[in-house]
Amino acid sequence: MHFIDEAVIDVLGGAGGNGCMAFRREKFVPHGGPSGGDGGHGGSVVLVGSSGLGTLYRLTFPANYHAERGRHGEGSNKTGRSGGDLLIPVPLGTEVHDAESGEALGEVVREDERLVVARGGGGGRGNARFKSARQRAPRRTEPGRPGEQKRLRLELKLLADVGVVGLPNAGKSTLISVLTAARPKIADYPFTTLAPQLGVVGPPALPVEAEPFVIADLPGLIAGAARGAGLGTRFLRHVERCRVLLHLVDLGPHPDAAASRVGEAVETISAELAAFDEDLLRRPRILCGSKLDIADEERRRELHQVAANAGLEALEISAVAGAGLAPLVRELRKLLEVGEAADDGTSGARR
């Protein structure tokens, strides 16, 4: 299935049913009068969070979603049946915008969370509603009101605890394939990964008693990505929800060492993150050198110097040889636990 993280759909709430005009003509009922019931309310279009979905692919076929309309009112003061809501499953992390105005309408980030995106119209009143002391036999009714109609732009931002960032071919996909059951494409050319890949880090990479976490392999960045170069913002939007960033730097030998300094590689990624959202640089981040099994000693020294200058922790790993993975996973789990404790404290203060 294709990874689709944007979709435009048209939604229409169900129209309300018309009010009924009727009069009672029954045996043994000396005083009849109006008996037209109200129309039923139209159904609404509702987005529902589903952890079983990881893409917006299914929402594009079809792209038009109409909720059920309400039934018309009937005689004997019978109200028409209301239309059922149309429930549309969406992946967690889906943001909803009005495609015409760009207004943010909400987001769905939890399982079974509901977001009403097009409300159904109200039912019209029947003539029984208009009976009064002065007007005993009203011949007035109301039509049902139309439902809301909107064109929506849905944008998926993956929910991951850890986002792995770095230049193309920094070893991100290999790391994910070793730590999790995910199987991203791995090759020795740039932009091998064209779509984010999610995996769950658990035993045996983590102790059995430790809480597993979700890690995302995100497509490689290049200079100018925040302005759309390369995979551009299609990559960067998925970093926004990551709580911890793991910045991989290739320590392997480079044919042109002067053009591939570790400091420049780190600065390129940092600059693109800041250009997209300055808050990203304030999140917990680990600077990690990859391909330790073929590392260049000069690049290793430069990695630790750059990390010290930036106030970051530096680690070294080889996903192929399995070196350094245990300390890396422990450090990631530690940073996540610190963040969770801070979030709990903030929530408690608010309560």
Give pLDDT, residue 108.
96
Q: How confident is the model at residue 185 (pLDDT cuts 50, 70, 90)?
A: low
**Domain-located, residue 33:** yes
- Which residues are CB-neighbours of 246 under 8 A, at least 6 positions away? 162, 163, 164, 165, 215, 285, 286, 288, 328, 332
Q: Which of 8-17, 108-117, 218-227 has the lowest mean pLDDT?
A: 218-227
Lowest mean pLDDT among 148-162, 197-211, 218-232: 218-232
Distance CA 43, CA 69 (A): 6
CA dist., res. 162 & res. 213, Å (int): 8
Q: How many residues does the chain have?
A: 351
The domain boundary residue, chosen from 156, 189, 222: 156
Q: Which span out of 21-25, 44-48, 51-55, 220-224 was modeled with the highest average pLDDT?
A: 44-48
Q: What's the confidence (pLDDT) of residue 341?
A: 66
Task: Specify if 151 maps to a domain.
Answer: yes
Find out whether 318 and 345 touch, Cβ atoms under 8 Å. Answer: no
**Nearest in space to 336 (alpha carbons), one of 203, 207, 239, 242:** 242
What spatial distance separates the first Cα and last Cα of the chain, rounded to whole Å?
43
Q: Tell me whether residue 1 is in a domain.
A: no
Residues 123, 203, single domain; the answer is: no
> 181: which 2 tokens?
């059951």
235 token code pair: 């990559």
Q: Which domain CATH number covers 116?
A: 2.70.210.12
Q: Is the pLDDT of residue 296 over 50?
A: yes
Contact indicator for 254, 168 with CB cutoff of 8 Å? no
Q: pLDDT category, 187, cuts 50, 70, 90?
A: very low
Nearest-angstrom CA–CA distance, 273 and 333: 23
Q: How many other β-carbons are positioned within 10 Å of the β-carbon of residue 5?
A: 21
204 and 338 assigned to the same domain:
yes
Q: Which of 1-10, 128-137, 138-147 has the highest mean pLDDT?
A: 138-147
pLDDT given for residue 348 in this prediction: 43
What's the domain count of the chain?
Answer: 2
Q: What is the mean pLDDT of the chain?
A: 85
Residue with tokens 């070793």: 178
Classify residue 294: in a domain, yes or no.
Answer: yes
Residue range(s) defining the domain that contains residue 284: 162-350
Residue with tokens 């229409």, as numbered in its chain = 12
CA angle 287, 292, 297 (to 5 degrees): 90
Secondary structure of residue 344 in the 3-state scheme: helix
Nearest alpha-carbon partner for 320 in 289, 287, 290? 290
**From the CB of residue 109, how many other CB atoms can be counted at a distance below 10 Å?**
14
Q: Is residue 90 part of a domain?
A: yes
Does residue 113 sit in the same domain as residue 229? no
Residue 320 has pLDDT above 50, yes or no: yes
pLDDT above 60 (res 106): yes
Q: Average pLDDT for residues 247-259, to the nearest whole number?
A: 75
CATH number at residue 195: 3.40.50.300
The SS3 assignment for 155 reads strand
pLDDT of residue 349: 40
Which residue, 156, 179, 207, sits at the end of a domain?
Answer: 156
Continuous segment of H or E residues that includes residue 341: helix 325-350
Strands 149-156 and 94-98, bridge-based pairing: antiparallel
